[in-house]
């Protein structure tokens, strides 16, 4: 089962965070059921996000230092599936060391101090496209997101990214494990589409299999 993050939206769409914590936040769940895990996961995402998982397009990646050692294999799989990679400067530099190209995006602007009226300091990364990921999300140029945060906090870039993705109803993942599951699901759907069966049909198949075992 999967938490449908669209339930975290508010009327303005940008005031909540999807990171799970010890407090209870009732959001409901969605479930996918199929002959194997990848197809079942793909169905769960179809219920969680309008349109489900993308099978092509642009993927934004920004991971914490602990997760960067798993980046190369994930990036290669994304390229094999036909996706284009977008990343922050630190993540892009890791990919470059392994010969993997990506489009560099700016870090989100940060205020010089805590005063909401204070000037905003904009950081432009070398070779970047001149925009941050929130701007790209709002322009409809990002199709899926992997963002593993360093820590929680409403002032962090990660919070802004996740909130923008919720508002845009984009599939987003905050752990490597669930992103790996998403890649399995995308690969399965690209090679073999969903199998649509009723619960009764599934039950009949299971009953027949159980009879064969005896």
**Residue 214: inside a domain:** no
Residue 58's nearest CA partner among 85, 81, 79, 82 is: 85
Q: 38-48 as b/e, with b when 16 or more CB fall inside 10 Å?
A: bbbbbbbbbeb
Q: Residue 124 pLDDT > 60, yes or no? A: yes
Both tokens of 70, joined, read: 């798993």
Lowest-pLDDT choice from 50-54, 90-94, 114-118, 206-210: 114-118
Sheet holding 172-173: strands in order across?
A: 103-104, 83-87, 57-62, 144-147, 172-173
| Mean per-residue pLDDT over the chain, rounded | 80
- Whether 140 and 164 have beta carbons less than 8 Å apart is answered as no
Residue 213 lies in a domain: no
CATH code of residue 170: 3.40.50.1380
Least confident of 40-49, 100-109, 177-186, 190-199: 190-199
Instruction: Output 63 or 213, whichever has higher pLDDT.
Output: 63
**Eight-class DSSP state of 69:** G
Question: What confidence tens digit (pLDDT) does each residue in 65-104 have?
Answer: 899 999 999 999 999 999 999 998 889 999 999 999 999 9
Whether 92 is in a domain gets the answer: yes
Domain count within the chain:
1
- Residue 203 in domain: yes
| Per-residue model confidence (pLDDT) at position 204 | 84
Task: Give pLDDT tens digits for 142-176.
Answer: 999 999 987 654 457 788 888 899 899 999 999 99
Buried b (16+ CB within 10 A) or exposed e, 152-188: eeeebbbbbbbbbbbbbebbbbbebeebbbbbbbbbb
Q: What's CA 33's distance to the chain center, in Å?
A: 21
More confident residue, 70 or 128: 70
Stronger pLDDT, 45 or 210, i.e. the higher one: 45
Q: Is residue 179's pLDDT more than 50?
A: yes
Asked whether residue 77 is assigned to any structural domain, the reply reads yes
- Model pTM score: 0.75
> Taking residues 9-14, what's their average pLDDT?
51
Q: Which domain holds residue 193?
A: 5-207
Longest dimension (CA), the chain: 74
The pLDDT > 90 percentage for the chain reads 40
- Quick check: is 212 in a domain? no
pLDDT computed for residue 127 by the predictor: 65
Task: Decide: 61 and 75 in contact? Cβ < 8 Å.
Answer: yes
Helices (H) and strands (E) in the chain, counts: 7, 7
């Amino acid at each position: 089962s999967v938490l449908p993050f669209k339930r975290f939206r508010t009327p303005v769409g940008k005031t909540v965070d999807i990171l799970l914590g010890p407090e209870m936040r009732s959001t409901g769940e969605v479930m996918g059921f199929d002959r194997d895990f990848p197809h079942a996961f793909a169905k769960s995402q179809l219920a969680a996000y309008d349109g489900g998982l993308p099978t092509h397009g642009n993927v934004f990646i920004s991971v914490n230092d602990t997760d960067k050692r798993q980046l190369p294999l994930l990036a290669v799989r994304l390229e094999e599936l036909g996706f284009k990679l977008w990343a922050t400067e630190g993540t892009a530099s890791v990919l470059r060391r392994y010969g993997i190209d990506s489009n560099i995006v700016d870090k989100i602007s940060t205020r010089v101090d805590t005063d909401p009226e204070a000037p905003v300091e904009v950081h432009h990364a070398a070779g970047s496209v001149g925009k941050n990921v929130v701007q790209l999300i709002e322009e409809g140029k990002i199709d899926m997101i992997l963002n593993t945060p360093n820590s929680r906090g409403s002032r962090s870039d990660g919070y802004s990214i996740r909130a923008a993705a919720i508002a845009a109803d984009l599939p987003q993942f905050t752990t490597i494990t669930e992103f790996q599951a998403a890649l399995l699901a995308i690969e399965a759907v690209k090679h073999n589409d969903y199998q649509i069966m009723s619960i009764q049909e599934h039950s009949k198949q299971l009953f027949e299999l159980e009879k064969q075992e005896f």
